[in-house]
Every structure is written in C-alpha cells, then in structure tokens.
Structure 1
Amino acid sequence: MNGISSMATRQVLNDLASAFEAKSGERVVIESVGGVAALKRIEEGEAFDIVVLASNAIDRLAASARIDAASRVRIARSGVAIAVAKGAPRPAIDDEAAVREAVLAARSIGYSTGPSGVYLTRLFERWGIAERIAARIVQAPPGVAVGALIARGEVELGFQQMSEMIGVEGIDVLGMLPPQIQTLTVFEAAICANVNAPQLARAFLAFLASPDADGAKVRHGMEPC
C-alpha cells in the first residue's frame, strides 16, 4: 500500500507505518513532500492509496472527488513552534508582544509554504509589520524544513509545526507560539479515489486514528485528535 503526505507528518507516519507493518505483516510506503506538491499530485490523478494532509487540503480533494470523502479520519493537531540556531541568544516568547518584538529584532525570519506560513503572513499583516520586515522574510522551499535553514545560518528566527522542528540538529526550539496567537493545524487522512488496495487502506486509516497511535503522535510534537 502506498500513500503521500506533507512533510509535517513525515516522522510520525514513518513510525506508524512501521508499527502497522509489524502488526499486520503488510508493507506501507508513505512519500512525504511539500503539502502544496502533494495536493497537486493527487489533483492531477497520480495513483496513491491514501493521502494525509491538512484538513483544508482534504476539503479541496473531497470537493473535486479525488478522495472518498466518507473515509476521512482526523489524525492529529499540530501547533507552531519557534526556534533559533543552537547556542544563539534566546529571545523572550512569553506572550504576543514578546514574539512581535522578537520578530522585529531578528535579522531574518523563516517560515514554510504550508499552513503555518500562511498563518504567520496574516499575523504579521495584523500586527502592521509585514512591509517593515518583508526584506527579511525567508520562505523555505516546499519540502525543506525551516529548521534546516536555521541550522545553516540562513534564518535567525524560524517558525514551523513542532513536528517538523523536533529532531533537527543545529537548532534550539524555544517553545510554542503563546496561546493568544497559537494556531492548530488539523491533519486528516483519506482514501484516494484511485485506490489500489482499499481494504488495506481502510485498516491503516483505522490504525492511524486508534489509541495505539497516540504515543507516536505525542513523541513527534503532535496532539491526538
């Protein structure tokens, strides 16, 4: 059975695919790419058994009948974390005002092309600083972790899903966005319209949504739905 997902769920799906294989004896291969690219490939009719993406992307695939809408299951929620290079000064991020000041003080600010990046763009506009910091924004290319840009010195202050920050060498994760400005992305899985192994796909989705999968989700910085 094969599937496609965004990078935000890459690590947790790798773990859960291995656990499912050990339990069922069935091979599961999940390709993780940038969310925009994954969505496009499904929309263009590329053959996959399942897809795991943010809920708004799954909505879009349901509207175009690229997935079986009745098969949708919620997998996990993920919040946005903030990171700097390992050993670098750690700005305060205790509340909204502190994060705003950290952004204004940073020489470069990085975020992704995914849901967290879209949210941050709107947040900076709401704060009235978008034009002021525009020249310092570094948007990670699809499929490239913001943490990798931080580690290479290309970004001083980076924002991305916690699941994509965990385990990246060369960075210090400062913590999550404070509650006043946090955003949670819900990730869902669904069976694709051109599924080749429907029974196995249904079994894997049931496993992803089961309590047996909760431990892996928490280890990778996500909250079970």
Structure 2
Amino acid sequence: MKQLKLRAAAFLLAITFCATAGAEDITVMISGGFSAALDKLAPQYQAATGDTVHIVHGPSMGNSPEAIPNRLSAGQPADVVIMVGYALDDLNKQRKIAQGSRTELADSRIGAVVREGSAAPDISNVDNLKAVLLKAKSIAYSDSASGRYVQAELFNRLGIAAQVRDKARMIEKIPVASVVAKGDEEIGFQQVSELLPVKGAKFIGRIPESVQYVTRFAGAVVAGAPHQQQARRLLRFLASPEAQTVVRQTGLDPLPATGGIAQ
C-alpha cells in the first residue's frame, strides 16, 4: 500500500511539472457510475496541480434537463464530460467533444441492494436470482443504462417479465438504493458503484456474470472548452494506473490497459 501511495504521489508530481498553464477551475459533468471515484480522486488532483474541480451531476441520457447531453445543448459550460461510453459516442457524432480526447476509464457491473437490517438474499446464480425476483414484493431499477437493460432484457432472459411487470419500477434522477433504504422498494438494481455509497442500503452482490451487463465509462474534453490542456491532464490522471486502486474500491472494474488517453 505504501508503494502504491508513493507511485501515485510521483505521478501527480509528474503531471504538475508537465502542466503548461496555470491553475484553473475545471468543470466536470459526470453521471453516477464514476462519481464516487471522482469524489475520492479529485482532492488528490487538486492538491497536486492547483486546479479546482467543479463537479456537475447528471445522467448520461434521458429527457430530464439534468441529463448531460441536454445540459450541453442548453449551453451550460463544461470542460470535461464523464459518462456511459455509448452516450459519449453520440456526443462525438454531434461534434460536442474534442476530436481524439475520448479516454477510457473503467467498466461497471450491475449489483443489488436491500434495506439495511434485512436478510440478504442469495443472487449468486441465475436460479437464485430468478427466485428472489419472483418472491420480492417490489423491484426498483435505474433510468440509466443498467436499468434499461434490467427492464428490456434481464427480466426476459430470466423468463419472468410477465410475472414482475406490475411490481417493477424505474427510479428517475435519484439513486435506486435511496428508495430501498427508505423501505419504499424491497430490492434495487443499479451499477455497483452507484449502490455502495448510499447509507441505509445493504449491498448483496453482483448479478451472475452469465446475465450481467457491463457498462463502459469514459471521459472526453468538451469541444470548445476554455481549459483544454487542464481537461486533458485531468483525464490522464483518472485513467492512470495510479488511480486504479481508488477506482476498484468504489465498485468499478479497472481496465486491463488504458486506451485512447487524451494527450
């Protein structure tokens, strides 16, 4: 652990020396999956570079004004966006991100929670997961990529779509675990990194790999952003091997090798 901390300190020192401009305020629009990692990594980055990281939260997609694509379309300023990879592809097609700046950050898998104090059901295999869902009085899932998979594919793959239709609910804008923690829903599904930070909810595990859905999170520099160099520097740090310990701690899966790193 001490060696990892020394490596991280050396990397941060290196990017500080490589900075070609003074400290700036960097605005990052980010969706939920990578938020916990950024919350932990941003203070290290700020201390080393002098840059201030302002974080604006919003889903990767959807019709709400808070959704990142809608924020950008409305003219809200940002230097960096971090979001679901295929939603970032759409922004690239619209030329809303700087060419060649996409940076792969981590993969995210779906897990489940129940209310703290409740018995933890076993969802470690497909048969158990199916039985738990059939027995549950209510089921919650997100309005982002993971929830759309749960609604459109997972229930069908388990052969229980008709049985759970009337007791399954999409949760918009807020963490799924928050409604489970209050007792409004019995079991909730979302990306693991979005479930773990919520107090009052008990994480019971990931869904089985054979029915798992992996979401790639990536970042990019916003086209025309005022702080292009600082934005690229931040993305390099978030994708670095030195940041991967924190990425893993927040429930994400670090990538075996980084690709498309912003230069």
Structure 1 length-normalised TM: 0.95
Q: Distance in 1 between matches of 2:160 and 2:199?
A: 30
Residue 100 of structure 1: SS of its match in structure 2? helix
Q: Which residue of 2 aligns with 1:110?
A: 140
Calculate percent identity across the aligned residue pairs. 32
User: Which sits farther off after the overlay, 25-34 or 107-116?
Assistant: 25-34
| Per-residue deviation, 1:221 | 0.7
Q: Which residue of 1 aligns with 2:28?
A: 3
The answer to whether 1:22 aligns with 2:47 is yes
The answer to whether 1:68 aligns with 2:98 is yes
- Which residue, 111, 127, 130 being the options, matches 2:161? 130
Note if contact 2:91-2:97 (Cα within 8 Å) is conserved in structure 1.
yes
Note if contact 2:36-2:197 (Cα within 8 Å) is conserved in structure 1.
no
Residue 70 of structure 1: SS of its match in structure 2? coil
The answer to whether 1:173 aligns with 2:203 is yes
| Per-residue deviation, 1:178 | 1.2
User: Which sits farther off after the overlay, 130-139 or 103-112?
Assistant: 130-139
| Per-residue deviation, 1:199 | 0.8
Q: Distance in 1 between matches of 2:70 and 2:116?
A: 35
Q: Distance in 2 between matches of 1:203 and 1:88?
A: 44
Distance 1:178 1:126, change over 3 A: closer
Structure 2 length-normalised TM: 0.82
Q: Cα deviations across residues 184-212 of structure 1 (Å, max 9, x unaligned)?
A: 11100000013010110111111111112
| Per-residue deviation, 1:61 | 0.4
Q: Distance in 1 between matches of 2:147 and 2:69?
A: 16
Q: Give the unaligned 5+ runs of structure 1.
A: none
User: Which sits farther off after the overlay, 183-192 or 162-171?
Assistant: 162-171
The root-mean-square deviation of aligned C-alpha atoms, in Å, is 1.3
Q: Distance in 1 between matches of 2:69 and 2:135?
A: 35
The answer to whether 1:47 aligns with 2:77 is yes
The answer to whether 1:203 aligns with 2:228 is no
Q: Give the unaligned 5+ runs of structure 2.
A: 1-25, 62-66, 256-263
Letter in 2 for 1:3: V
Q: Distance in 2 between matches of 1:167 and 1:50?
A: 23
Q: Which residue of 2 aligns with 1:91?
A: 121
How many residue pairs align between the two structures?
Answer: 224
Note if contact 1:43-1:61 (Cα within 8 Å) is conserved in structure 2.
no
Q: Distance in 1 between matches of 2:76 and 2:197?
A: 31
Q: Cα deviations across residues 135-184 of structure 1 (Å, max 9, x unaligned)?
A: 21121112x11110101011101111111111321121111111111121
